[in-house]
Amino acid sequence: MQNLFYVRHTCRLCHSDKQELVVPMAGMPIGTPNFQVPNASVDDPVFRAAVPMALHLCRDCGHLQILHVGNPEVQYRNYVYTTSLSLGLREHFAGYANDVVSRFGIAPGSLVVELGSNDGSLLGYFKERGMRVLGVDPAVDIARRATEAGIETIGDFFTDVIGHRILQSHGAASVVIANNMIANVDNLDPLVIGVRDVLAPDGLFVFETQYGVDVTEKNLLDTVYHEHLSYFNIKPLIRFFARLGMELIDVQHIWTKGGSIRVTVQRAGGPKKPSAEVARFVAEEDRLGVDQPAYYAPYVKRIAAIRDELIAMADAAHARGQSVAGYGVSVGTTTLLPQFGLENKIDFLVDDDPKKGNVMAGPGYDIPILPPAALYERKPAFVVVFAWRYVDPIRAKHARYFAEGGKFVVPLPGISMVERAD
């Protein structure tokens, strides 16, 4: 496959070329379980090439980012992951819509536009509250199905051009929302200019994204992959939005993905005053020193320590003639296999979803994917729970495995052992 990725050399927030490598990471494939690649065989470079994924820190504005950028046409035109399938997200979306409508007094009939709207789940809750809604998402099949289900969706990448088109066809937006998508965008300037221009004078841009501080402080390594190009902290975002004629006015810390932020932005000079939370977040980031390279050294050491322990455990099991399994086939698994050096240490993977296929292929590995019953048939010495956030519902299903002497190893945020179902 041609044009699998490209490399940028400047900060995607401030355009400075002063980028310093702070978190070396093993390369991983662009292809993940989140999307399909039409006409690509299992040996296509999209699955087999280990594309660099190191994290760089901008020495001018302090933004943390990946500079090797996957081709968005490959990644997002054929996206298959839908938000409605994630545990707890429906309830989160209902609360999200309630919070935005009530906190900011959004009137019925107002236009709400969502960027990266996926299957329209979040917009559906705004529609229930009497809003006019419009989605924008480049995954053409998902966009079509959302439209057919009653959530009008433009099947394209959002830019300033699309923003102007929406302004002409639907009028100004009271709210533009984005749920875990702006971290996936390399060229952010046209996106934010489009948001600024489509907003009403008192309109708001509200987005959720992974919080960079949580990624490092809570060791959320499985959220680092090529779709997530940026790991946003508040201080660099303030400077970024100001450069484009907007003002960051509020931050909320939320639970999703182990630690995220909900950020509210208005046009520069808008009617709302910044909340005290903005200054509080900046002060904490300054206290931690997240804009300094030295801050990231302990994070690198923690990753290395987990890797060394997992490899030692797997090698000891194999020396005893026992196998080692993994639980969960996801984009997080694609990240953790190379970061923890487990590509050729995991003998098989299990997943509750039978649609995950028969093999997980990657750079130098082909790991069989089996149903969970394989845990009882093959009796692995232990199971690395790559889906570690869901370890409690997973463990509850496998009391028999524990009764027969099996163990779950939870790799994050630090290694822990599970030896019982409750």
* Predicted model pTM: 0.93
Which single residue is written with the structure tokens 């028969």? 358
Q: Which CATH class is domain 83-269?
A: alpha beta
| CATH topology (fold) of 297-418 | Rossmann fold (3.40.50)
Report yes or no: 21 and 320 within 8 Å, Cβ to Cβ: no
Cβ neighbours, 10 Å, residue 295: 18
Distance between CA 276 and CA 234 in Å, rounded?
A: 13
- Residue 325: phi and psi, rounded to 5, are -115, 170
Residues 192, 297: Cα–Cα separation, whole Å: 32
**CA R_g for the chain:** 22
Alpha-carbon distances of 32 from 16, 80, 241, 303, rounded to whole Å:
30, 10, 31, 21
Q: How many CB atoms lie within 10 A of CB 286?
A: 13
- Phi-psi category of residue 130: left, alpha or beta, with phi > 0 → left and psi -120 to 50 → alpha: left
Print pLDDT tens along the chain (422 aa): 468 899 999 999 999 999 999 999 999 998 887 767 777 788 888 889 999 999 999 999 999 999 999 988 888 877 666 665 565 677 888 999 999 999 999 999 999 999 999 999 999 999 999 999 999 999 889 999 999 999 999 999 999 999 999 999 999 999 999 999 999 999 999 999 999 999 999 999 999 999 999 999 999 999 999 999 999 999 999 999 999 999 999 999 998 888 999 999 999 999 999 999 999 999 999 999 999 999 999 999 999 999 999 999 999 999 999 999 999 999 999 999 999 999 999 999 999 988 888 999 999 999 999 999 999 999 999 999 999 999 999 999 999 999 999 999 999 999 999 999 88
Residue labelled with tokens 């959302």: 146
* Beta partners for residue 262, in sequence order: 208, 252
Q: Lay out the sheet containing 132-136: strands in order across.
A: 153-154, 132-136, 111-115, 173-179, 199-210, 260-267, 246-254
Containing 207, the helix (H) or strand (E) segment is: strand 199-210
Question: Is the separation of the CB atoms in 221 and 412 below 8 Å?
Answer: yes
Structural domain spans, the chain: 5-70, 83-269, 297-418
Lookup: tokens for 359? 């093999």
Residue recorded with tokens 């975002």? 237
Q: How far is the C-alpha of 345 from the C-alpha of 352, rounded, in Å?
A: 21
Amino acid letter for position 269: G
One-letter amino acid at 291 equals: D
